[in-house]
């Protein structure tokens, strides 16, 4: 629909959408950076969505049964900021809009989770939002099955652009959602035919209808500038028994006379002159950042339109049995259940008695078998390596369209989509998501793992086959730099437990953590239980601790993680036999150790003794503890990997790469 | 086709395919690890491909105009090893087959590029092979356009499984290939309906025909166990004017009575008992690893069948003008042209005269503008950020179906697919590929970037917007840990040039390098030229060097990279004014510096002075040079990032995160 017709035939709508468009133009211009074209292009669709379809109440942004709105095309952030401001979210003031992209503002360049109410997830890295959304929709299905449709019955709406749809992660999301038949998921495709480099046809000729249909989606098309047609499409979308793509044909920078329908409208301010001309085209006579009171009032009425529905929901919620209410609230708040500590303690005692020799991936399964029954909010899964990652415990059942009470997801060979869906599930609330793949394939999931950290979402990454210790699969599957990668990422907890006890302790931390993701690096190969004495205290929470003390004041300190702690212990035996008092420090988590008080760190790593760090991985993260923390270059050595691995049985590889007790002992001898 | 019919009606074929199947079963069993089911399932397709279609000559594995065969489903490595052995590749001996997955063998768990002739690329991480293949096919098109169809006219064949097709990267590859109308690309889909977790329907319901057609591919189906039908399909595929998916309906572990058509045949040895039963089903009476001479002879005849065609090709090649022959040979060998040094020198002189104040991304464009005209084998591109990455120079032209002489690729919003295609182009030979995105989105390309390093492929990653210096786009777009990630990856050169001169020097190194990828981390913001004096010598090749010496024996050494070198220089001014002699060391590449002789490193970083490292990124890689290399904890400090970034103008961010000359000076003062 062209602007003249639209203005004439839908004048109320035009004013509402115009407020979005004006704020987007003005804020981007004031910041002198940003993306005006997308909000201008999708203003009509967003207006119809918020006015007639989205279930929300601006006065209660955390209402558990609200529809979720996700701006996957995060560069168009002014669209959501404008919507939140106009509908009356209390923290999205006009001042914030005016401070778009400035220090301390809630209105970052891309929508940041936690900055303002109504931002359900951080978007900007393309394809993440649509993939988060699959997790949101799965969480909703899970909660509905567990708590009933009276209290959980909402949709997840996504706005995605061509950028999102070209990213590979979107295919993983589309495939997963299609297989899962997520009828509560509706993606509004901003089909404007423009990307940063120009016309989409320069880089893609994909028929998106056919592509989505191929994965079991329903596709509906509409004129993204015709409110009646948009409304028809959204009405139809809500009735689908499958996930829906609504193809919204739009014009980027709609109405800007010299820039619309071109890449020029995408990622830069329109410029004062073009804004002036566009205002004329719009018939929008108000000054920059001025929204007339009557238009603001109409928008606020839209923001309040869900209040009655929310009140009704609260009444329904109050009819739930008290225990169920408390449980719902607990799970939505990501509070660990009271029973968790007891379950952990019981298994810990059992481990101290039985001293199992198992791979830490197996230990992880044992931990989960104890935890999952007392933590009904866990949803686990694997990117098609269930039997290797050992992420499925007996009680879970498979989550799919036939069994929404299932708690195990066959994510398929989709590491990136899995990680993003895990983020989405946790952001939705009510779910603690964990998922497994091989440690090496954190590479495939990096984009989403970084967002777990940036958003502070406590996703748990169960990364097995964590070193050359996986053996014959060879260097493509053997992580070397991946511990460094995870440890270099801010706000991320990385665990590499040495035995079954540390593995259990790591799980306890990961599942009580509320604002950091955890990466569990787990062995393929069997490892002895080294923590032979039960302690109620979670020693892994200290990050590093003295596992074995020297027979006298230590002359050497061996630091190690995971499968290499056993080797360090053997080196200790050799050295002690030679009269060299040797301490072994297990370092399950560098981040947690670095956060300990200096007195504790000094106790564990005093100045004086020579230090050897042992880890079948890159040295980079270790210099901090070898050379820093009172260490020195002449009294420090590293035993680990300097290159990629190789294909051979694990024991051969350890020998060939020199990660042996004898080599550790040699390093100590050479320094003493 | 069932086995009885197949044996009866195609006995010759059955014997040939049986040799593959037997070797696969036997080698996996002997190694006690590996994936027998896929080679057993795809043996019929592979036999028909090698017997009737693939253009190759086992005695000349590097024949430039051979068809390329890529086993994207790399876990089925015994398929390619068996084929190479049977057809007579001289280095793939029976001994190697028997040593499958053992230390030092050419027969690694997954096919490793460089281990044996005929392995065109390393596969195993799923989806990489099919995505490399797109690059192979693009390189072929480019070379055909440049050197003529008389000498370049071949196909790229890929075997891909459901794992490859579920990975998001495959969608990027499919989309790129479809848009590029790569009719020389044929993907054989091992459609066996099984993944590790079980039936594909547990995780995916995608109609692959529809999906590929949606992106402009031709789809042909065949019975993957009927040689006649396979032959028909491959014959048809070769005639297509678009990329082709051949849907080969197969049974995993074909013929193993208790394990076929199940996940049990996928990733473990069949076991002696099942192998015995399978041999009976096959009517294969030979002992383990025994291939009867007549069958081997037939296979060797297949391996030799391309000899005449190769000889004819060599005759045609000899008719090319001498200069063109030499140029073809040079480009295929990745030898830099003689003119490169002169072009670099000329621009370097110009830079020393003009001292431009430009972003290093702009300096990179200037370097490319000088280099591209003298290096016709470069093919550049960007993942839809051409105007930001500045990777397109005036002379390139756009590579697409209408212009195969074009040298610039609009890769679309497909970082992972771009990186994998770059690897493929270079592996094909005749092309030096570089591609750009934002540094932060190395996250999306990690899988392929690691493979560049593992294979030793000199892809060049032009990663602009390399720090919080990009400003308002905010933390989702601001790299913090990414320099550490790239530096922790073995066999990778990471450059963070400080000015236009270092940028040019980095390009010179990257484009003459033959066995390592390069990552160029480039600024968005303008930077002054700090290297004001022309040197013929490439100082960046030393990794680090004294950019500014102290006015006397230095009491402080400031190390910095990229945009922070300017800040370190300002700090030096402050300190010198206070009478503290201060040296500034620019560190464009840590890897190259670490590889310098100790005497040089000691000269640059002597013991004694306090050290401050300055980089708007994570500290992790710096401890080596701050605390190591004669440094010590009490005389070392870091000025950089400890958290994610934020959205605000760049100068505000530098101030807020304390990356300022004053803060550097404070650190020095505090330590002196």
> How confident is the model over A50-100, as pLDDT tens digits?
999 999 999 999 999 999 999 999 999 999 999 999 999 999 999 999 999
Residues B367 and B411 in one domain: yes
- Does residue A323 fall inside a structural domain? no
Specify whether A213 is located in the same domain as A184. yes
pLDDT at A297: 98
* CA A255 – CA A249 distance, rounded (Å): 15
Q: Do A443 and B446 touch (CB under 8 A)?
A: yes
CB distance B534 to B588 below 8 Å: no
pTM equals 0.98
- B643 to chain A, any CB pair closer than 8 A? The answer is yes
Which site among B73, B213, B414, B473 would you substitute to test the A interface, given the most A Cβ atoms closer than 10 Å to its Cβ? Answer: B473
Q: If you average pLDDT over residues A633-657, what whole number do you get?
A: 98
Give a yes or no: residue A318 inside a domain. Answer: no
**Is B481 close to A489, i.e. CB distance below 8 A?**
yes
Q: Do A503 and A575 fall into the same domain?
A: no
Minimal Cα distance from A126: which residue of B? B413
Whether A384 has its CB under 8 Å from any CB of chain B: the answer is: yes
What pLDDT, on a 0 to 100 scale, did the predictor assign at position A445?
Answer: 98
Is B324 within a domain?
no
Chain B residue numbers touching A476 (CB-CB < 8 A): 74, 109-110, 112, 122-125, 451, 454
Cα A405 to Cα A396: distance, rounded to the nearest angstrom: 9
CA distance B246 to chain A (A): 17
Q: How many structural domains does chain A have?
A: 3
Is the Cβ pair B167, A480 closer than 8 Å? no
- Compute CA distances B434 → A202, B382, B388, B425, B607, whole Å: 19, 8, 15, 10, 39
A30 to each of A92, A263, A272, A567, B388, how far by Cα in Å?
A: 17, 20, 10, 61, 21
Per the listing, tokens 């390329």 go with: B68
Would residue A60 count as lying in a domain? yes
| pLDDT for res A27 | 98
Dihedral (Cα; B592, B593, B595, B596), 10-degree rounding? 120
Q: In what order do the strands lie in the sheet with A156-160?
A: A68-71, A156-160, A185-191, A244-249, A218-223
Q: Is A627 on the interface with B (CB under 8 A)?
A: yes
Helix (H, G, I), strand (E, B) or coil at B185: strand
Average pLDDT of the residues of chain A: 98
Range of the domain at A470: 338-528
For residue A646, give the nearest of B103, B204, B213 by CB distance: B103
Q: How many CA atoms lie within 13 A of B140 on its CB side?
A: 27
What's the 3-state SS for A13-50? HHHHHHHHHHHHHHHHHHHCCCCCHHHHHHHHHHHHHH
Please answer yes or no on whether A206 and B412 come within 8 Å at the CB atom: no
CA distance A307 to chain B (A): 33
Q: Do B627 and A630 touch (CB under 8 A)?
A: no
Per residue in B433-492, pLDDT (tens digit) is 999 999 999 999 999 999 999 999 999 999 999 999 999 999 999 999 999 999 999 999
Tell me whether residue A316 is in a domain. no
- B195: three-class secondary structure by DSSP: strand
Best B175, B213, B476, B658 residue to mutate vs chain A (most A CBs within 10 Å): B476
B491 vs A: CB within 8 A: yes
Q: What pLDDT, in 10s, does the model give residues B546-600?
A: 999 999 999 999 999 999 999 999 999 999 999 999 999 999 999 999 999 999 9
Q: Is B278 helix (H, G, I), strand (E, B) or coil?
A: helix
Residues A510 and A597 in one domain: no
Predicted pLDDT at B82: 98
- Is A482:A439 a contact under the CB 8 Å cutoff? yes
pLDDT of residue A279: 97
Statement to judge: residues A274 and A342 lie in one domain? no
B391 touches chain A (CB under 8 A): no
Mean pLDDT to the nearest integer, A3-30: 97
Strand partners, B557: B583, B611
Q: What angle do CA B156, B160, B166 make, to 5 degrees?
A: 130
Q: B446-461: buried (b, 16+ CB within 10 Å) or exposed (e) per residue?
A: bbbbbbbbbbebbbbb
- B125 at the A interface (CB within 8 A)? yes
Q: Annotated catalytic, B140?
A: no
Last residue of a domain, one of A495, A528, A561: A528
Rounded distance, CA A113 to CA B305, Å? 62
Q: Quick one: tokens of A662?
A: 């004898």
Catalytic-role residue among B120, B415, B508, B513: B415
Structural domain contains residue A162: yes
A424: confidence class by pLDDT, cuts 50, 70, 90: very high
pLDDT of residue A184: 98
Chain A residues inside the 8 Å CB shell of B204: 175, 179, 215, 412
Instruction: List the strands of the sheet with B545-548, edge to edge.
Output: B545-548, B582-586, B556-560, B610-614, B636-639
The answer to whether residues A242 and A370 belong to one domain is: no
B648 touches A at CB < 8 Å = yes
**Burial readout A465-480 (b: 16 or more C-beta within 10 A, e: otherwise):** bbbbbbbbbbbbbbbb
CATH code, domain with B301: 3.40.50.970
Domain boundary among B263, B290, B310: B310
Query: Chain B interface, mutation test: which of A473, A517, A624, most B Cβ atoms within 10 Å?
Result: A473
C-beta of residue A292 within 8 angstroms of C-beta of residue A94: no
Q: How far is B590 from chain A (nearest CA, A)?
A: 12
Mean pLDDT score, A585-595? 98
| B125·A471 Cβ contact <8 A | no
Q: Count of A–B CB contacts within 8 Å? A: 368
In this predicted model, what pLDDT tens digit does every residue of A353-381 receive, in sequence order?
999 999 999 999 999 999 999 999 999 99
pLDDT tens-digit map of B262-280: 999 999 999 999 999 999 9
- Is some CB atom of chain B closer than 8 A to the CB atom of A634? no
CB atoms A454 and B476 under 8 Å: yes
**Residues of A that are catalytic:** 415
Q: What is the DSSP letter of B656?
A: H
Please indicate, yes or no, whether residues B498 and B595 belong to a single structural domain of this protein: no
DSSP A466: -
The structure tokens listed for A322 are: 């008290």
Q: Inspect the interface and report whether the beta carbons of B101 and A477 lie closer than 8 Å.
A: no
Q: At what angle do helices B77-87 and B11-31 cross, to 10 degrees?
A: 120
- Interface list for A 338-357 with B (CB within 8 A): none
pLDDT recorded at residue B89: 98
pLDDT of amino acid A39: 98
The three-state secondary structure class of B310 is: helix
Would you tell me how many other CB atoms lie within 10 Å of the CB of residue B596? Answer: 17
Residues B146 and B258 in one domain: yes
- Let me know whether A24 and A162 are in one domain: yes
A115 inside 8 A of chain B by CB: no
On the 0-12 / 13-18 / 19+ scale of CB atoms within 10 A, B402 is exposed
Each residue of A232-267: b (16+ CB within 10 Å) or e?
ebbeebeebebbbbbbbbbbbbbbbeebbbbbbbbb
The two structure tokens encoding residue A289: 């950042």
Do residues A596 and A543 make contact, with C-beta atoms less than 8 angstroms apart? Answer: yes
Last residue of a domain, one of A292, A310, A328: A310
Q: What is the pLDDT of residues B46-56, one digit of tens each?
A: 999 999 999 99
Mean pLDDT value of segment B125-138: 98
Return the H-helix or E-strand segment holding B100.
Answer: none
**Residue B266 is labelled as binding a ligand:** yes
Q: Which residues, 6 or more positions from B158, have their beta carbon under 8 angstroms from its beta carbon?
A: B70, B71, B72, B129, B130, B133, B185, B186, B187, B188
Q: Give the residue from A119, A171, A641 with the most B CB atoms within 10 Å of its CB, the best one to mutate.
A: A171
Query: Does residue A594 belong to the interface with chain B, where contact is any CB pair within 8 Å?
Result: no
A475/B108 touch (CB, cutoff 8 Å), yes or no: yes
Q: Tokens for B353?
A: 């005269």
pLDDT band at A213 (very low <50, low <70, confident <90, very high): very high
- Is B464 touching A (CB cutoff 8 A)? no
Cα–Cα distance, B341 to B194 (Å, whole number) = 54
Element (H, E) at A613: strand A610-615
Angstrom distance (rounded) from CA A443 to CA B486: 12
A 45-104 residues with CB below 8 A of B?
Answer: 74, 101-104
Task: State the smallest CA–CA distance between residue A278 and chain B in angstroms.
Answer: 25
Nearest CA in chain B to A109: B473
CB contact under 8 A, A474 and B108: yes
Which residue do the tokens 């020389």 mark? Answer: B184
Estimate the crossing angle of helix B168-180 against helix A168-180, to 10 degrees. Answer: 120
What is the H or E stretch that residue A614 is in?
A: strand A610-615
The angle formed by the CA atoms of residues A271, A277 and A279, to the nearest 5 degrees, is: 100
What is the three-class DSSP state of A185?
Answer: strand
> Which B residues, 180 through 239, put their C-beta within 8 Å of a C-beta on chain A?
195-198, 201-211, 213-216
Bridge partners of B545?
B586
Closest by CA position to B204, among listed B194, B189, B214? B194
CB contact under 8 A, B179 and A204: yes
> Closest Cα of chain A to B632: distance in Å?
7
Contacts of B206 in chain A (CB under 8 A): 175, 178, 214-216
Q: CA A5, A11, A17, A19 torsion: positive or negative?
A: positive
Model pLDDT, residue B44: 98
Q: Residue A92's pLDDT is what?
A: 98
Query: How many C-beta atoms surround the C-beta of residue B412 within 10 A?
Result: 27
For residue A568, give how far its alpha carbon lies from the nearest alpha carbon of chain B (Å): 23
| One domain for residues B200 and B113 | yes
pLDDT per position as a tens digit, B303-358: 999 999 999 999 999 999 999 999 999 999 999 999 999 999 999 999 999 999 99
ipTM of the complex: 0.98
Mean pLDDT calculated for residue range B492-503: 98
- Asked if the structure places residue B192 within a domain, the reply is yes
C-alpha neighbours within 13 Å on the C-beta side of residue B560: 31
The pLDDT of residue A537: 98
Q: Per the annotation, does B477 bind a ligand? A: yes
- Whether residue A603 is found in the same domain as residue A652: yes
Judge whether A534 lies within some domain: no
Do B285 and B357 reside in the same domain of the chain?
no
Q: Is B657 annotated as ligand-binding?
A: no
The 8-class DSSP code of residue B394 comes to: T
Beta carbons of A109 and B216 less than 8 Å apart: no
Going by pLDDT thresholds of 50, 70 and 90, the confidence category of residue B183 is: very high
Using CA atoms, how far apart are residues A463 and A441, in angstroms rounded to an integer?
Answer: 8
Tell me the binding residues of A. 35, 75, 124-126, 162-163, 192, 194, 266, 361, 388, 441, 465, 473, 477, 524
Q: What would the pLDDT profile of B188-206 be if each residue is shown by its tens digit?
A: 999 999 999 999 999 999 9
Rounded to whole angstroms, the Cα distance separating B639 from B637 reads: 7
Interchain CB distance below 8 Å, A125 and B444:
yes
């Amino acid at each position: 629909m062209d602007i003249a017709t639209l203005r004439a035939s839908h004048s109320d709508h035009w004013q509402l959408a115009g407020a979005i468009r004006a704020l987007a133009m003005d804020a981007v211009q004031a910041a002198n950076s940003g993306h005006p074209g997308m909000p201008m292009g999708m203003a009509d669709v967003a207006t119809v969505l918020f006015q007639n379809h989205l279930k929300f109440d601006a006065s209660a942004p955390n209402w558990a049964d609200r529809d979720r709105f996700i701006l996957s095309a995060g560069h168009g952030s002014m669209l959501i900021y404008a919507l939140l401001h106009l509908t009356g979210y209390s923290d999205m003031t006009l001042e914030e809009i005016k401070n778009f992209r400035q220090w301390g503002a809630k209105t970052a360049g891309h929508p940041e989770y936690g900055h303002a109410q109504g931002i359900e997830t951080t978007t900007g890295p393309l394809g993440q939002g649509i993939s988060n959304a699959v997790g949101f929709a799965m969480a909703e299905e899970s909660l509905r099955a567990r708590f009933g449709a009276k209290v959980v019955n909402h949709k997840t709406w996504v706005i995605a652009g061509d950028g999102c749809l070209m990213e590979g992660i979107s295919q993983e999301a589309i495939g997963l959602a299609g297989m899962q038949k997520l009828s509560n998921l509706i993606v509004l495709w901003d089909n404007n035919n423009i990307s940063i480099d120009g016309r989409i046809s320069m880089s893609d000729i994909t028929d998106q209808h056919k592509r989505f249909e191929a994965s079991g989606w329903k596709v509906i098309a509409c004129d993204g500038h015709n409110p009646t047609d948009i409304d028809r499409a959204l009405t139809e979308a809500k009735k689908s028994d499958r996930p829906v793509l609504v193809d919204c044909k739009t014009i980027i920078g709609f109405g800007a006379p010299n820039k619309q329908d071109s890449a020029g409208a995408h990622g830069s301010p329109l410029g004062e002159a073009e804004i002036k001309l566009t205002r004329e085209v719009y018939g929008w006579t108000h000054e920059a950042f001025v929204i007339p009171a009557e238009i603001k009032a109409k928008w606020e009425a839209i923001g309040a339109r869900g209040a009655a529905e929310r009140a009704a929901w609260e009444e329904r919620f109050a009819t739930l049995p008290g225990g169920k209410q408390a449980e719902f609230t607990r799970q939505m708040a990501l509070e660990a259940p009271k029973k968790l500590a007891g379950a952990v303690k019981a298994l810990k005692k059992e481990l101290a008695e039985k001293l199992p020799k198992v791979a830490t991936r197996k230990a992880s399964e044992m931990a989960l078998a104890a935890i999952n029954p007392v933590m009904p909010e866990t949803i686990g899964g694997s990117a098609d390596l269930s039997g290797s990652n050992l992420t499925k415990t007996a009680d879970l059942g498979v989550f799919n369209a036939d069994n929404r009470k299932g708690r195990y997801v066959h994510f398929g060979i989709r590491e990136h989509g899995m990680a993003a869906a895990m983020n989405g599930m946790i952001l939705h609330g009510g779910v603690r998501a964990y998922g497994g793949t091989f440690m090496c394939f954190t590479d495939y999931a990096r984009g989403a793992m970084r967002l777990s950290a940036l958003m502070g979402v406590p996703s748990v990454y169960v990364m097995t086959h964590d070193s050359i210790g996986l053996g014959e699969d060879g260097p493509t599957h053997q992580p070397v730099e991946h511990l460094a990668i995870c440890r270099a990422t801010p706000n991320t907890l990385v665990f590499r437990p040495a035995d079954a006890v540390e593995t259990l302790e790591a799980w306890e931390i990961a599942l009580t953590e509320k604002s950091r993701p955890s990466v569990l690096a787990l062995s393929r190969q069997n490892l002895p239980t080294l923590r032979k004495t039960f302690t109620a205290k979670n020693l892994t929470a200290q990050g590093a601790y003295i596992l074995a003390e020297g027979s006298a004041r230590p002359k050497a300190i061996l630091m190690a993680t995971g499968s290499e702690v056993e080797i360090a212990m053997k080196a200790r035996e050799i050295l002690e036999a030679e009269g060299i008092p040797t301490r072994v420090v297990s370092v399950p988590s560098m981040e947690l150790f670095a956060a300990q008080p200096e007195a504790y760190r000094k106790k564990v790593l005093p100045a004086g003794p020579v230090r050897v760090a042992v880890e079948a991985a890159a040295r980079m993260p270790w210099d901090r503890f070898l050379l820093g923390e009172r260490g020195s270059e002449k009294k420090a050595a590293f035993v680990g990997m300097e290159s990629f691995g190789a294909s051979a049985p694990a024991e051969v590889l350890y020998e060939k790469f020199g990660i042996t007790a004898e080599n550790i002992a040699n390093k100590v001898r050479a320094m003493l």
